[in-house]
Structure 1
Amino acid sequence: MASKKSTATAPNAGGQNVVHKVIMVGSGGVGKSALTLQFMYDEFVEEYEPTKADSYRKKVVLAGEECSIDILDTAGQEDYSAIRDNYYRSGEGFICVFSILDMESFDATNEFREQILRVKNSDSSIPIVLVGNKADMRDERVVPIELAKQRAEQWGVQYVETSAKRRENVDKVFYDLMRDIKRRKVGTLHPDQIGDAAQIKRKKNKKSKCTIL
Protein backbone atom coordinates (compact mmCIF):
# COMPACT_ATOMS: atom_id res chain seq x y z
CA MET A 1 0.00 0.00 0.00
CA ALA A 2 1.32 3.44 -0.87
CA SER A 3 2.31 5.71 1.94
CA LYS A 4 -0.12 8.53 2.60
CA LYS A 5 0.81 11.88 1.11
CA SER A 6 0.07 14.94 3.19
CA THR A 7 -1.13 18.22 1.77
CA ALA A 8 1.04 19.07 -1.24
CA THR A 9 1.19 22.63 -2.45
CA ALA A 10 3.42 24.64 -4.71
CA PRO A 11 4.06 28.23 -3.65
CA ASN A 12 2.16 30.88 -5.55
CA ALA A 13 4.99 33.09 -6.85
CA GLY A 14 4.24 36.69 -6.07
CA GLY A 15 0.65 35.75 -5.25
CA GLN A 16 -0.46 37.17 -8.60
CA ASN A 17 -1.59 34.18 -10.64
CA VAL A 18 -5.18 33.01 -10.69
CA VAL A 19 -6.11 29.90 -8.68
CA HIS A 20 -8.86 27.56 -9.94
CA LYS A 21 -10.40 25.52 -7.11
CA VAL A 22 -11.42 21.97 -8.08
CA ILE A 23 -13.18 19.44 -5.84
CA MET A 24 -13.03 15.67 -6.44
CA VAL A 25 -16.27 13.87 -5.52
CA GLY A 26 -17.45 10.29 -5.85
CA SER A 27 -17.91 7.05 -3.95
CA GLY A 28 -15.00 5.37 -2.22
CA GLY A 29 -12.72 3.22 -4.36
CA VAL A 30 -13.59 4.78 -7.73
CA GLY A 31 -10.14 6.30 -8.23
CA LYS A 32 -10.46 9.95 -7.16
CA SER A 33 -7.09 9.90 -5.43
CA ALA A 34 -5.48 7.89 -8.24
CA LEU A 35 -6.59 10.48 -10.81
CA THR A 36 -5.41 13.36 -8.61
CA LEU A 37 -1.98 11.83 -7.93
CA GLN A 38 -1.54 10.89 -11.58
CA PHE A 39 -2.24 14.48 -12.61
CA MET A 40 -0.04 15.94 -9.86
CA TYR A 41 2.96 13.62 -9.96
CA ASP A 42 2.67 11.45 -13.10
CA GLU A 43 2.45 8.33 -10.98
CA PHE A 44 -0.17 5.64 -10.50
CA VAL A 45 -1.03 4.70 -6.93
CA GLU A 46 -3.15 1.55 -6.89
CA GLU A 47 -3.93 1.44 -3.17
CA TYR A 48 -4.51 4.64 -1.29
CA GLU A 49 -6.39 5.06 1.98
CA PRO A 50 -6.72 8.71 2.93
CA THR A 51 -8.17 9.40 6.38
CA LYS A 52 -8.86 13.07 5.72
CA ALA A 53 -9.23 15.40 2.78
CA ASP A 54 -5.99 16.17 0.96
CA SER A 55 -5.30 19.42 -0.87
CA TYR A 56 -2.88 19.81 -3.76
CA ARG A 57 -1.73 22.81 -5.76
CA LYS A 58 0.02 22.80 -9.11
CA LYS A 59 1.10 25.56 -11.49
CA VAL A 60 -0.13 25.09 -15.04
CA VAL A 61 -0.38 27.06 -18.28
CA LEU A 62 -3.93 27.54 -19.51
CA ALA A 63 -4.56 29.29 -22.84
CA GLY A 64 -1.03 30.69 -22.74
CA GLU A 65 -1.40 32.13 -19.24
CA GLU A 66 0.15 30.79 -16.06
CA CYS A 67 -2.29 29.91 -13.31
CA SER A 68 -2.64 27.39 -10.49
CA ILE A 69 -5.07 24.57 -9.89
CA ASP A 70 -6.04 23.80 -6.32
CA ILE A 71 -7.42 20.25 -6.02
CA LEU A 72 -9.29 19.01 -2.95
CA ASP A 73 -9.66 15.23 -2.74
CA THR A 74 -12.61 14.65 -0.41
CA ALA A 75 -11.97 10.90 -0.03
CA GLY A 76 -13.06 9.64 3.36
CA GLN A 77 -15.28 12.67 4.05
CA GLU A 78 -18.50 11.65 2.32
CA ASP A 79 -20.28 10.73 5.57
CA TYR A 80 -19.63 14.04 7.33
CA SER A 81 -22.18 16.37 5.81
CA ALA A 82 -21.09 19.55 7.60
CA ILE A 83 -17.46 19.08 6.56
CA ARG A 84 -18.48 18.04 3.04
CA ASP A 85 -20.72 21.08 2.57
CA ASN A 86 -17.93 23.38 3.69
CA TYR A 87 -15.60 21.86 1.09
CA TYR A 88 -18.24 22.05 -1.65
CA ARG A 89 -18.89 25.70 -0.84
CA SER A 90 -15.25 26.57 -1.59
CA GLY A 91 -15.21 24.73 -4.94
CA GLU A 92 -15.39 26.50 -8.29
CA GLY A 93 -15.62 23.28 -10.30
CA PHE A 94 -16.23 19.61 -9.60
CA ILE A 95 -14.98 16.32 -11.00
CA CYS A 96 -17.66 13.72 -10.26
CA VAL A 97 -16.07 10.27 -10.54
CA PHE A 98 -17.54 6.78 -10.75
CA SER A 99 -16.09 3.43 -11.75
CA ILE A 100 -17.35 1.92 -15.00
CA LEU A 101 -17.08 -1.43 -13.17
CA ASP A 102 -19.47 -0.41 -10.39
CA MET A 103 -23.12 0.48 -11.03
CA GLU A 104 -23.64 1.64 -7.43
CA SER A 105 -20.91 4.24 -7.81
CA PHE A 106 -22.61 5.47 -10.98
CA ASP A 107 -26.00 5.65 -9.24
CA ALA A 108 -24.37 7.67 -6.46
CA THR A 109 -23.30 10.43 -8.85
CA ASN A 110 -26.83 11.84 -8.87
CA GLU A 111 -26.68 12.25 -5.09
CA PHE A 112 -23.29 13.97 -5.28
CA ARG A 113 -24.61 16.41 -7.86
CA GLU A 114 -27.70 17.13 -5.75
CA GLN A 115 -25.45 17.88 -2.77
CA ILE A 116 -23.35 20.24 -4.88
CA LEU A 117 -26.42 22.07 -6.23
CA ARG A 118 -27.90 22.39 -2.74
CA VAL A 119 -24.73 24.01 -1.42
CA LYS A 120 -24.44 26.18 -4.55
CA ASN A 121 -28.03 27.44 -4.25
CA SER A 122 -29.32 25.31 -7.15
CA ASP A 123 -26.91 26.93 -9.61
CA SER A 124 -27.00 24.31 -12.37
CA SER A 125 -24.35 26.21 -14.35
CA ILE A 126 -21.62 25.31 -11.85
CA PRO A 127 -18.81 23.59 -13.82
CA ILE A 128 -18.91 19.79 -13.46
CA VAL A 129 -17.27 16.99 -15.43
CA LEU A 130 -18.73 13.49 -15.13
CA VAL A 131 -15.89 10.97 -15.20
CA GLY A 132 -16.07 7.20 -15.72
CA ASN A 133 -12.76 5.86 -14.38
CA LYS A 134 -10.98 2.50 -14.83
CA ALA A 135 -11.37 2.61 -18.61
CA ASP A 136 -8.36 0.29 -18.94
CA MET A 137 -10.81 -2.46 -17.90
CA ARG A 138 -13.51 -1.69 -20.47
CA ASP A 139 -13.96 -5.38 -21.22
CA GLU A 140 -15.34 -5.80 -17.70
CA ARG A 141 -17.50 -2.70 -17.69
CA VAL A 142 -20.86 -2.78 -15.94
CA VAL A 143 -22.02 0.78 -16.64
CA PRO A 144 -22.93 1.14 -20.36
CA ILE A 145 -21.29 4.14 -21.98
CA GLU A 146 -24.66 5.16 -23.46
CA LEU A 147 -26.13 5.39 -19.93
CA ALA A 148 -23.25 7.56 -18.72
CA LYS A 149 -23.51 9.86 -21.75
CA GLN A 150 -27.26 10.15 -21.21
CA ARG A 151 -26.73 11.27 -17.61
CA ALA A 152 -24.13 13.84 -18.66
CA GLU A 153 -26.56 15.17 -21.26
CA GLN A 154 -29.28 15.44 -18.61
CA TRP A 155 -26.92 17.39 -16.40
CA GLY A 156 -25.69 19.52 -19.31
CA VAL A 157 -22.06 18.56 -18.67
CA GLN A 158 -19.21 16.76 -20.41
CA TYR A 159 -18.64 13.02 -19.97
CA VAL A 160 -15.10 11.64 -20.13
CA GLU A 161 -13.80 8.10 -19.57
CA THR A 162 -10.40 7.93 -17.90
CA SER A 163 -7.79 5.45 -16.79
CA ALA A 164 -5.65 6.65 -13.91
CA LYS A 165 -3.50 3.56 -14.45
CA ARG A 166 -2.70 4.39 -18.09
CA ARG A 167 -3.02 8.16 -17.66
CA GLU A 168 -5.77 8.12 -20.27
CA ASN A 169 -7.64 11.45 -20.51
CA VAL A 170 -6.39 12.49 -17.06
CA ASP A 171 -5.01 15.87 -18.18
CA LYS A 172 -8.05 16.42 -20.40
CA VAL A 173 -10.44 16.20 -17.45
CA PHE A 174 -8.58 18.74 -15.30
CA TYR A 175 -7.79 21.17 -18.12
CA ASP A 176 -11.31 21.06 -19.58
CA LEU A 177 -12.76 21.81 -16.15
CA MET A 178 -10.32 24.67 -15.60
CA ARG A 179 -11.37 26.17 -18.95
CA ASP A 180 -15.02 26.04 -17.83
CA ILE A 181 -14.11 27.66 -14.50
CA LYS A 182 -12.15 30.39 -16.29
CA ARG A 183 -15.02 31.12 -18.69
CA ARG A 184 -17.39 31.37 -15.74
CA LYS A 185 -15.07 33.77 -13.91
CA VAL A 186 -14.76 36.01 -16.97
CA GLY A 187 -18.53 35.93 -17.41
CA THR A 188 -19.12 37.09 -13.84
CA LEU A 189 -16.68 40.01 -13.87
CA HIS A 190 -18.13 43.25 -12.53
CA PRO A 191 -18.59 45.89 -15.28
CA ASP A 192 -15.92 48.04 -13.58
CA GLN A 193 -13.48 45.11 -13.72
CA ILE A 194 -14.21 44.57 -17.40
CA GLY A 195 -13.64 48.29 -18.01
CA ASP A 196 -10.33 48.18 -16.16
CA ALA A 197 -9.21 45.18 -18.17
CA ALA A 198 -10.12 46.88 -21.44
CA GLN A 199 -8.28 50.04 -20.37
CA ILE A 200 -5.13 48.08 -19.56
CA LYS A 201 -5.33 46.38 -22.95
CA ARG A 202 -5.71 49.73 -24.75
CA LYS A 203 -2.68 51.11 -22.92
CA LYS A 204 -0.62 48.11 -23.94
CA ASN A 205 -1.69 48.50 -27.57
CA LYS A 206 -0.87 52.22 -27.48
CA LYS A 207 2.63 51.52 -26.17
CA SER A 208 3.26 49.04 -28.96
CA LYS A 209 2.50 51.63 -31.67
CA CYS A 210 5.12 54.09 -32.83
CA THR A 211 4.09 57.44 -34.40
CA ILE A 212 6.58 59.17 -36.74
CA LEU A 213 6.21 62.96 -36.82
Structure 2
Amino acid sequence: MGSQSGYDYSFKILLIGDSGVGKSSLLVSFISSHIDGLSPTIGVDFKIKHLIVGGKKLKLTIWDTAGQEKFRTLTSSYFRNAQGIILVYDVTQRETFTNIVEVWVKELELYSTNQDCIKVLVGNKVDKESERVITEEEGIAFAQDYGCYFLECSAKTRANVEKCFAELAHKILQVPSLLEEGSALGKKNTLKQKQGHLGPASGCCSFAG
Protein backbone atom coordinates (compact mmCIF):
# COMPACT_ATOMS: atom_id res chain seq x y z
CA MET A 1 0.00 0.00 0.00
CA GLY A 2 2.68 2.49 1.01
CA SER A 3 4.71 1.89 -2.14
CA GLN A 4 1.68 2.52 -4.36
CA SER A 5 0.34 5.67 -2.73
CA GLY A 6 3.50 7.13 -1.16
CA TYR A 7 2.12 6.88 2.38
CA ASP A 8 1.09 4.18 4.85
CA TYR A 9 -1.91 5.94 6.40
CA SER A 10 -4.16 8.86 5.51
CA PHE A 11 -5.86 10.78 8.32
CA LYS A 12 -8.46 13.55 8.30
CA ILE A 13 -7.84 16.34 10.82
CA LEU A 14 -10.30 19.13 11.61
CA LEU A 15 -9.51 22.56 13.07
CA ILE A 16 -12.43 24.19 14.90
CA GLY A 17 -12.90 27.27 17.07
CA ASP A 18 -14.06 30.88 16.93
CA SER A 19 -13.13 33.17 14.07
CA GLY A 20 -9.87 35.01 14.76
CA VAL A 21 -8.29 32.50 17.15
CA GLY A 22 -5.61 31.65 14.59
CA LYS A 23 -6.74 28.34 13.07
CA SER A 24 -5.56 29.29 9.59
CA SER A 25 -2.32 30.69 10.98
CA LEU A 26 -1.65 27.44 12.85
CA LEU A 27 -2.23 25.43 9.70
CA VAL A 28 -0.12 27.64 7.46
CA SER A 29 2.62 27.78 10.10
CA PHE A 30 2.64 23.97 10.10
CA ILE A 31 2.71 23.74 6.29
CA SER A 32 5.21 26.57 5.75
CA SER A 33 6.94 29.38 7.63
CA HIS A 34 4.88 32.26 6.20
CA ILE A 35 1.65 33.37 7.87
CA ASP A 36 1.49 37.08 7.02
CA GLY A 37 -1.50 38.53 5.21
CA LEU A 38 -4.00 35.73 5.88
CA SER A 39 -7.67 36.49 5.24
CA PRO A 40 -10.51 34.95 7.29
CA THR A 41 -11.51 31.50 6.07
CA ILE A 42 -14.69 31.55 3.98
CA GLY A 43 -16.54 28.30 4.56
CA VAL A 44 -13.96 25.50 4.58
CA ASP A 45 -10.44 25.14 3.19
CA PHE A 46 -7.96 22.29 3.43
CA LYS A 47 -4.28 21.60 3.05
CA ILE A 48 -2.28 18.40 2.85
CA LYS A 49 0.90 17.58 4.72
CA HIS A 50 3.08 14.49 4.46
CA LEU A 51 5.20 13.55 7.45
CA ILE A 52 6.77 10.58 9.19
CA VAL A 53 5.67 9.65 12.70
CA GLY A 54 6.78 6.50 14.48
CA GLY A 55 8.39 5.24 11.30
CA LYS A 56 5.09 5.47 9.37
CA LYS A 57 4.56 7.67 6.33
CA LEU A 58 1.43 9.72 6.93
CA LYS A 59 -0.76 11.91 4.76
CA LEU A 60 -2.67 14.45 6.84
CA THR A 61 -5.60 16.19 5.16
CA ILE A 62 -6.21 19.13 7.48
CA TRP A 63 -9.52 20.95 7.20
CA ASP A 64 -9.58 24.60 8.28
CA THR A 65 -13.14 25.66 9.13
CA ALA A 66 -14.66 29.13 9.37
CA GLY A 67 -15.58 30.14 12.91
CA GLN A 68 -18.40 32.49 11.95
CA GLU A 69 -21.90 31.32 12.84
CA LYS A 70 -23.18 31.82 9.28
CA PHE A 71 -20.86 29.04 8.10
CA ARG A 72 -21.73 26.66 10.96
CA THR A 73 -24.03 24.37 8.93
CA LEU A 74 -21.40 24.11 6.21
CA THR A 75 -18.75 23.23 8.78
CA SER A 76 -20.86 20.51 10.41
CA SER A 77 -20.59 18.14 7.44
CA TYR A 78 -16.81 18.11 7.75
CA PHE A 79 -16.88 16.49 11.19
CA ARG A 80 -17.75 13.19 9.54
CA ASN A 81 -15.00 10.57 9.52
CA ALA A 82 -12.40 12.85 11.13
CA GLN A 83 -9.75 10.88 13.03
CA GLY A 84 -8.46 13.97 14.84
CA ILE A 85 -10.04 17.26 15.94
CA ILE A 86 -8.12 20.31 17.16
CA LEU A 87 -10.14 22.78 19.25
CA VAL A 88 -8.44 26.17 19.17
CA TYR A 89 -8.90 29.20 21.42
CA ASP A 90 -7.02 32.47 21.88
CA VAL A 91 -5.35 32.76 25.30
CA THR A 92 -5.94 36.54 25.19
CA GLN A 93 -9.70 36.33 24.55
CA ARG A 94 -11.89 34.81 27.29
CA GLU A 95 -14.92 34.43 25.01
CA THR A 96 -13.05 32.11 22.64
CA PHE A 97 -12.29 29.77 25.55
CA THR A 98 -15.87 29.92 26.85
CA ASN A 99 -17.17 29.10 23.37
CA ILE A 100 -15.11 25.90 23.26
CA VAL A 101 -17.56 24.58 25.85
CA GLU A 102 -20.72 26.42 24.84
CA VAL A 103 -20.37 26.02 21.07
CA TRP A 104 -17.61 23.80 19.74
CA VAL A 105 -17.78 20.81 22.08
CA LYS A 106 -21.54 20.71 21.43
CA GLU A 107 -20.93 20.84 17.68
CA LEU A 108 -18.40 18.03 17.99
CA GLU A 109 -20.75 15.85 20.03
CA LEU A 110 -23.61 16.53 17.61
CA TYR A 111 -21.85 15.99 14.30
CA SER A 112 -18.79 13.81 14.87
CA THR A 113 -19.33 10.29 13.56
CA ASN A 114 -16.24 8.84 15.19
CA GLN A 115 -16.35 8.15 18.94
CA ASP A 116 -12.67 7.22 18.98
CA CYS A 117 -11.39 10.40 17.34
CA ILE A 118 -8.49 12.08 19.12
CA LYS A 119 -9.20 15.58 20.44
CA VAL A 120 -6.57 18.20 21.22
CA LEU A 121 -7.29 21.49 22.98
CA VAL A 122 -4.90 24.20 21.80
CA GLY A 123 -4.38 27.61 23.39
CA ASN A 124 -2.94 29.82 20.66
CA LYS A 125 -1.13 33.19 20.74
CA VAL A 126 1.09 32.50 23.75
CA ASP A 127 3.53 34.99 22.21
CA LYS A 128 1.16 37.66 23.65
CA GLU A 129 1.93 36.66 27.23
CA SER A 130 1.33 40.16 28.61
CA GLU A 131 -2.24 40.04 27.23
CA ARG A 132 -3.05 36.55 28.51
CA VAL A 133 -6.38 36.15 30.32
CA ILE A 134 -6.65 32.34 30.30
CA THR A 135 -4.12 30.47 32.39
CA GLU A 136 -2.46 27.27 31.33
CA GLU A 137 -4.03 25.61 34.38
CA GLU A 138 -7.51 26.46 33.08
CA GLY A 139 -6.71 24.83 29.77
CA ILE A 140 -5.36 21.72 31.47
CA ALA A 141 -8.43 21.43 33.70
CA PHE A 142 -10.78 21.74 30.73
CA ALA A 143 -8.86 19.15 28.73
CA GLN A 144 -9.02 16.70 31.63
CA ASP A 145 -12.78 17.22 32.03
CA TYR A 146 -13.50 16.64 28.34
CA GLY A 147 -10.96 13.92 27.59
CA CYS A 148 -8.75 16.07 25.38
CA TYR A 149 -5.01 16.33 25.07
CA PHE A 150 -3.73 19.86 25.71
CA LEU A 151 -0.95 22.18 24.70
CA GLU A 152 -0.33 25.86 24.14
CA CYS A 153 1.37 27.24 21.06
CA SER A 154 2.09 30.29 18.95
CA ALA A 155 1.42 30.29 15.23
CA LYS A 156 3.46 33.49 15.00
CA THR A 157 6.66 32.10 16.54
CA ARG A 158 5.82 28.48 15.52
CA ALA A 159 6.33 27.37 19.14
CA ASN A 160 4.76 23.91 19.60
CA VAL A 161 3.01 24.08 16.20
CA GLU A 162 4.72 21.04 14.70
CA LYS A 163 4.40 19.24 18.04
CA CYS A 164 0.63 19.80 18.00
CA PHE A 165 0.05 18.05 14.69
CA ALA A 166 2.76 15.40 15.05
CA GLU A 167 1.63 14.30 18.51
CA LEU A 168 -1.98 14.22 17.35
CA ALA A 169 -0.95 11.90 14.54
CA HIS A 170 1.06 9.83 17.02
CA LYS A 171 -2.00 9.41 19.26
CA ILE A 172 -4.18 8.43 16.28
CA LEU A 173 -1.66 5.72 15.39
CA GLN A 174 -2.21 4.20 18.84
CA VAL A 175 -5.96 3.65 18.33
CA PRO A 176 -6.68 0.43 16.36
CA SER A 177 -10.04 1.59 14.95
CA LEU A 178 -8.56 4.86 13.69
CA LEU A 179 -5.57 3.03 12.30
CA GLU A 180 -7.89 0.75 10.36
CA GLU A 181 -9.77 3.74 8.94
CA GLY A 182 -6.54 5.44 7.95
CA SER A 183 -5.29 2.28 6.31
CA ALA A 184 -8.48 1.97 4.26
CA LEU A 185 -8.21 5.59 3.19
CA GLY A 186 -4.61 5.06 2.22
CA LYS A 187 -5.50 2.01 0.15
CA LYS A 188 -8.39 3.65 -1.67
CA ASN A 189 -6.67 7.05 -1.90
CA THR A 190 -10.09 8.60 -2.44
CA LEU A 191 -9.43 12.08 -1.08
CA LYS A 192 -8.96 14.44 -4.01
CA GLN A 193 -6.40 17.22 -3.77
CA LYS A 194 -7.21 20.75 -4.82
CA GLN A 195 -4.61 22.18 -7.13
CA GLY A 196 -2.17 24.29 -5.22
CA HIS A 197 -3.02 22.84 -1.80
CA LEU A 198 -0.29 20.22 -1.58
CA GLY A 199 2.07 21.03 1.26
CA PRO A 200 5.75 20.10 1.36
CA ALA A 201 6.89 16.92 3.03
CA SER A 202 8.48 17.42 6.42
CA GLY A 203 11.23 15.60 8.25
CA CYS A 204 10.83 12.70 10.62
CA CYS A 205 8.90 13.36 13.82
CA SER A 206 9.37 10.46 16.22
CA PHE A 207 7.83 10.28 19.68
CA ALA A 208 8.37 7.89 22.52
CA GLY A 209 5.35 5.78 23.36
TM-score (norm 1): 0.76
Q: Deviations over 1:109-158 (max 9, x none)?
A: 112122112223683x4211000000001121011222111101101222
Q: Which structure is richer in relative contact order (CA contacts within 8 A, separation 6 or more)?
A: 2
- Structure 1: give runs of 5+ residues left out of the alignment: 1-11, 194-213
Note closer, same or farther for the CA distance 1:189–1:88 as it changes in structure 2 (3 Å cut).
closer
Pick aligned residue for 1:116 from 97, 108, 117: 108
1:100–1:132: 8 Å Cα contact kept in structure 2? yes
Pick aligned residue for 2:147 from 146, 153, 156: 156
Tell whether 2:114 aligns with 1:89.
no
In structure 1, what is the equivalent of residue 60 of structure 2? 69
Query: Which whole-Å CA distance do the structure 1 matches of 2:131 and 2:3 have between them?
Result: 45
Tell whether 2:9 aligns with 1:36.
no
2:126–2:154: 8 Å Cα contact kept in structure 1? yes
Tell whether 2:5 aligns with 1:15.
yes
**Structure 1 residue 91, shift from structure 2 partner:** 1.5
Q: Deviations over 1:27-66 (max 9, x none)?
A: 0000000000000112223542222311111111111121
CA-based RMSD: 2.4
2:19–2:67: 8 Å Cα contact kept in structure 1? yes
Tell me the matched-pair count. Answer: 179
Larger Rg: 1
In structure 2, what is the equivalent of residue 203 of structure 1? none
| Bigger Cα displacement from structure 2, 95-104 vs 112-121 | 112-121
Query: Which whole-Å CA distance do the structure 2 matches of 1:135 and 1:51 have between them?
Result: 25
Q: State, as a whole percentage, how many aligned pairs show the same letter.
A: 28
**SS of the residue 1:164 aligns to:** coil
TM-score (norm 2): 0.77
- Structure 2: give runs of 5+ residues left out of the alignment: 185-209
Q: Which amino acid aligns with 1:65?
A: K
1:33–1:75: 8 Å Cα contact kept in structure 2? no
1:96–1:109: 8 Å Cα contact kept in structure 2? yes
In structure 1, what is the equivalent of residue 200 of structure 2? none
1:37–1:45: 8 Å Cα contact kept in structure 2? no
**Structure 1 residue 186, shift from structure 2 partner:** 5.3
**Structure 1 residue 20, shift from structure 2 partner:** 1.1
